[in-house]
Structures are given as C-alpha cells and as structure tokens.
Structure 1
Amino acid sequence: MSLIRTIATAGRVLAQIRHDPRTIALLLLVPALLIGLVAWIFSDTEVFGDIGPAMIALFPFIVMFLVTSIATLRERRSGTLERLLSMPMGKGDFLLGYALAFGLLAIAQTAVAVSFAIWVCGLEITGSIWLLFAVAVADALLGTALGLLASAFARTEFQVVQFMPLLVLPQILLCGIFLPRDQLPEVLETISEWLPLSFAIDALQAVADDSESTEWIVSKLLVIIAWIVGSIVLGAITLRRRTP
C-alpha cells in the first residue's frame, strides 16, 4: 500500500462528492435533523435526555453505512475500480482512500450532529464534550467501515440495502435503545455485548452522564476502532475488481 495513492484516492472521492449537493446534504444535515425530530417528539418529556446520546450514535451510523456502501459499489460496477487496479494501486489503497475521504466527512457530520443535539435540542452532557465527540466520530467511522465491507460482497445497490438487516438492524434492536440489554433474553444479551454499536452507545451514555471513568470509555472506544480496522481489512481481502 502507498500513502500517496491512498491520499490521491481520497482526494478524488471528495472532489466527486463536492459536486453532489444532495449527498452532502444527506451526510451533513440528515442526522442532525433526525435528532431534532426525536427531540421534538419528546419535547414535553425527559425521554430525549435519556435517549439523546443513543441517537447521536444511531443516525450517523446508518447514514454513513448507506452512503459509503452505495458509493463504493457504484465505483466498482462502473469499471472505475478495474481501471484503477490495472495501475500500481492495490485494493488496500482503494479502500483506505475511501475510508479516509468518508472519515473526513464523518468528522464534519458528527460536528454538526453533536452541536445541534447539545446547543439546539438542549441535550445535557455532564462529561467531556470532546470525549463525546471522539466516540461519536468513531461510531460514524464504524458505519463507514461496515459500508465498505458490505460493498465488497454486494453486486447491486439493492443487495447493499439487503445487507442492512444483516449488519445494521440487529445492532439497532440489541443495542439497548428499545430495551435495556440486561433485560434481554440471556442469549441475545450475550450477542449484544459483542456488537460494536452497543459499545458506542454505552460510551456515549457514560460520557453524557459522567458515570464511568475516562479509562473505561477509552476501552470501549478501542473496541470500536478494532471493529473498524477489522472491517476494512476484511473488505480489502474480499473486494472484487469488478461486479459482473
């Protein structure tokens, strides 16, 4: 792998997205608007204070998964990947370039979503806002990495969407939003303890409540990072040059 080729790939992706205002709006504004919608729904209750940190994890995660997976698959279906790999570029350069490009977008997306949740929707954060931001960025990067992994297996955009019930929806159902994980059936609780979105929500909730030590939160963050790295590596191994 080459750092220069990775950066060049990231620059090309960002240049393409810059000319696509709809994708920019989807990435930067939709998570914040959805968080605002949830806050509005529960405006007369204290529910948003309890689930707000989970929403910061949930919506950017979903949006980054969808946009990254479809954009990467479209690159392969158009034959662009095959042309790039005929030059001195490896699969790792390609995926890391995409991860870098969408990682930068994830940082911007998270900044908008976290700022909107705190200063517009009134979400109270007792702990460090910077630590909250770091975990939220890692969560958005997790969506990016899983999107890259899904695009490596899928053949069409429709198949990418079909990966949501496999990679995304089980995590949403088991992460503790609908029911505390310790109240789940024992088998489901065990599964939930290994899902990366559960780590992200636990860490964000702990920062919001200032209920755990920084070391505990960092340990959760490291697990999320391990999932990100593992997903990108597996995606690079399984990525096909072109979808038939």
Structure 2
Amino acid sequence: MGAPAPRHRMVLAQARLELRLLVRNGESLVVTLGIPLGILVFFGFVDVLPTDGDPVAFLVPGVLAISAMATGLVALAIQTGFERKYGVLKRLGTSPLTRGSFVLAKALAMVVLLAVQVAATVAVAVLLLDWEPTGSLAVAVVATLVGGGVFAAIGLLMAGTLTAELTLALTNALFLVLLLVSGLAFDPDALPADVAAVGSLLPSGALGNVLRAALSSPATIDWSAAAVVVGWGVVATVAAVRSFRWDG
C-alpha cells in the first residue's frame, strides 16, 4: 500500500464529495435556497415590514445571513448527523482523513454552495425586485462566506457530539430562535431592547450587522460585530475538531 495522499488533496476530494451530496439532497436545497429566497421575494413584494426606505435594501443583508445559517447550521449539520448514525463516518475514521481534515472539507463544500446562494440572492434582488446595490458587495460576499464557515463549525459541533435525531430537532429549533431574535427578516429595533442586545451578540445577529454596514452607503465595516462573528467561529471550530466523534 502506498503512502497516503497529501492532506490538501484528501481535503479537496472529500469536499467535492460533500458538495455532491448536498446538491443531491432535495430537502437541503429547500432549506438552503428555498427559504432565504422565499423570504426575499415574499417580503420584497408584500410591503408589511416595519422599516423605513427600500424594503429590499433592508432584506438583502438579512437574507444573506439567513442563507449562511440555513446552510451551515441546518443542512450541513443534519446531513452529517445522519451520516454518523448510519456508520458512514465510522468507515471514514479508518482512513487517513483526520477529524480536522474532515471538518475542513465539510466547511469548504458549504462555502461553495453558499457562494451559489449569494449569487442567486443578488440576481433575484436585482433582476426581479429592482434592487440597486450600494456599499461594497465584495465585502458582503466575503462576510457571508466567513459567516457560513462559522455556522458550519457550530453545526458540525452539534452533529459530531449529539445523536442524529437530536441534531435534527435542535438545529431546526435553533435556526428558528436565531431568526426571531437576530432581526434578520425585520428591523431589530422592533424587538425589546434586551432581546435585541442579546441578538447582536449571537453569530446570526452580528453577521446581519456586518452585512448591513457593508451594503450601506457609504460602505463601512462594523468591527465589533465582525469580532463577535470571528470569536464564535474560533470557539466552535476548536470545539468541533476536538470533540467530533466518527460514530455515535
């Protein structure tokens, strides 16, 4: 038997496999593409949001954050949890692929899918809802991808330590809670002050604030919110790599 392939080649090969699995899963596509785009189109056409100014300009940053959350926290975590339950990951554990490489491959696949979501969101907003981008779209794209990586780490932490059924229940519940308290689909000023303050310290709310600043005119960078996002990412990544179990 020859020597194992270089680590980067193993990671890229596994990432390609993970991406194919995500794309083939119809339920995952509903969560990752259907829900965020549905929110954008519905609230873009139906003027019910308690916001001043262009509702689409308000919605786009929130929908990008929702996309990152739906892909990393829900779709990726649930898929991984059931792969672990059915022994797929246990067989991977006998290969030269380390836990860190596996987590990285999962995150890379998610980032590629999220890039497609970003392109779809911008296309729908511009072509269907007559949105005129302001600020820095490039900064917003980078922030969304980083945010997706953060949620992927949180999702993999749950999938690698909890049962598949518990991961399914908790990720969906957590997605709903974060959606409600982070002010992504509505003005956070409509929330009670204490709830809004807590929401801004969560990765979803902080990511939403980073994206709104990036897409404002003129574009700015909300460094405090960015630090919150990165902090969650570092903690979740270290915890996922250290605690992920191949079987459960």
> Which TM-score bucket, shorter chain as reference?
0.7 to 0.9
Among residues 43, 58, 61, which one is paired with 1:50 in the alignment? 58
**Residue of structure 2 equivalent to 1:62:** 70
Q: Deviations over 1:90-131 (max 9, x none)?
A: 211111111111111111112111221233223343212222
Structure 2: how far apart are the matches of 1:126 and 1:80?
A: 45
SS of the residue corresponding to residue 153 of structure 1 reads coil
1:127 maps to amino acid: G
Structure 1: how far apart are the matches of 2:245 and 2:9?
A: 22
Among residues 161, 168, 180, which one is paired with 1:160 in the alignment? 168
Larger CA deviation: 19-28 vs 83-92 = 19-28
Residue 179 of structure 2 corresponds to residue 172 of structure 1: yes
Structure 2: how far apart are the matches of 1:50 and 1:102?
A: 25
Structure 1: how far apart are the matches of 2:54 and 2:187?
A: 17
SS of the residue corresponding to residue 201 of structure 2 reads coil
Gaps of 5+ in 1: none
Report the identity percentage. 22
Count matched residues. 239
**Residue of structure 2 equivalent to 1:36:** 41
Normalising by structure 1, we get a TM-score of 0.81
Residue 93 of structure 2 corresponds to residue 85 of structure 1: yes
Q: Deviations over 1:69-89 (max 9, x none)?
A: 111112111112111112222
1:106 maps to amino acid: L
CA contact (8 A) 1:34 1:59 kept: no
Q: Deviations over 1:50-84 (max 9, x none)?
A: 34422332244224421101111121111121111
1:239 maps to amino acid: F
- Residue 184 of structure 1: how far off its partner (Å): 3.1
Structure 2: how far apart are the matches of 1:59 and 1:43?
A: 21
Structure 1: how far apart are the matches of 2:16 and 2:59?
A: 36
**Residue of structure 1 equivalent to 2:19:** 14
1:114 maps to amino acid: V
1:53 maps to amino acid: P
Root-mean-square deviation (Å):
3.1
Gaps of 5+ in 2: 1-5
Change (3 A) 1:103 1:82: same
